[in-house]
Copies of this chain bind each other. A is one copy, B any other.
Amino acid sequence: MEWRDQLNHYIEMINHSLREYTNIGDERNHLVVEAMQYSLFAGGKRLRPVLTLAVTEMLNGTVEKAMPYACALEMIHTYSLIHDDLPAMDNDDFRRGKPTNHKIFGDGVAILAGDGLLNLAYEIMLQDLLLKKNPDSFIRAMKCIGNAAGVRGMIGGQTADLINEGKSVTAETLTYIHQQKTGALLSASLTAGAYAAEADEQTASELAAAGHALGMAFQIQDDLLDLDGSAEELGKPIGSDLRNNKATFPSLYGIDDSRKQVKSLTNKTLATFKSYGESSEFLQSLARYLVNRRS
């Protein structure tokens, strides 16, 4: 199968499971469930759950066993976007060309929909744990996701982002924000896939490191694309982000150095994947695609 077909196959399976997991509305709670589904099906790329399923298959695990953890990661990612978009946070009216959750459902329901998705992520993983004779490795999958999502992970990064808004930040702070806000959950996506395949600790830890590198490469590439977009589409001079105090990797390190970092981080990720041989071909293609994308 071509890697693009494989990608679409994963996405279809993920969407199917997400529909099933969120089929929990009743007469009373349907509004908040509708709000959860709205953002969950608003065009996400499913990057995190795809990584989980692909890592599991690379390590001879099954999609079926990894699916609750893959979907939990997508729910956690989605809840973080809903809360991030709120007027009290980034105050965004649109995401992926669609009105943000609170623009449709109001701020109160949007807060509850985010809370509901975070909680549902844990509910579906717990439901899965109960079915296991030996749940140990799956508890580890759940734990790495939990740690990545918490104040020592993603929420810590969002807090740093929020309190540094409009301020000039150091390269160190920017790296922290990206590592926590994006890297932690991306890394957990790979680690959860490893644990869902009942891989050993060393494998999980190698893949966690590869995930951190991939997350950082992905984020710097995002910064570079924003810069291209700004220059071409808005006509503002490259580097204006720096003068606007919006710290990005290119504004702090320059474009050439940022490109070099993307390359070096990607090579680190690819080296890890390659060490697993042929079964990692899909992940290699996906990693190359992510850092070479033009949008």
Contact = CB atoms under 8 A, between A and B. Distances in A.
Interface of A: 24, 26, 28-29, 31-33, 36, 79, 83, 86, 88-89, 106-112, 114-116, 118-120, 122-123, 126-127, 129-130, 135, 139-140, 142-143, 146-147, 149-152, 155-156, 158-160, 162-163, 173, 176, 180
22 contacts: A24-B152, A28-B173, A32-B151, A36-B151, A83-B111, A83-B115, A86-B107, A88-B106, A88-B107, A89-B111, A108-B162, A112-B155, A112-B159, A119-B149, A119-B150, A119-B155, A127-B143, A130-B139, A130-B140, A130-B143, A135-B135, A135-B139
Contacts of A29: 151-152, 155-156, 159-160
Nearest to A29: B156
A122 to B, nearest CB: 5
B112 A86 contact: no
From A106, A123, A155, A176, residue with most partner B Cβ within 10 Å: A155
Contact of A126 (B79, B114, B119, B143): B143
Nearest to A91: B108
Contacts of A107: 86, 88
Nearest to A149: B119
Q: 4 tightest CB-CB pairs across the interface, nearest first?
A: A88-B107, A29-B156, A32-B159, A116-B151
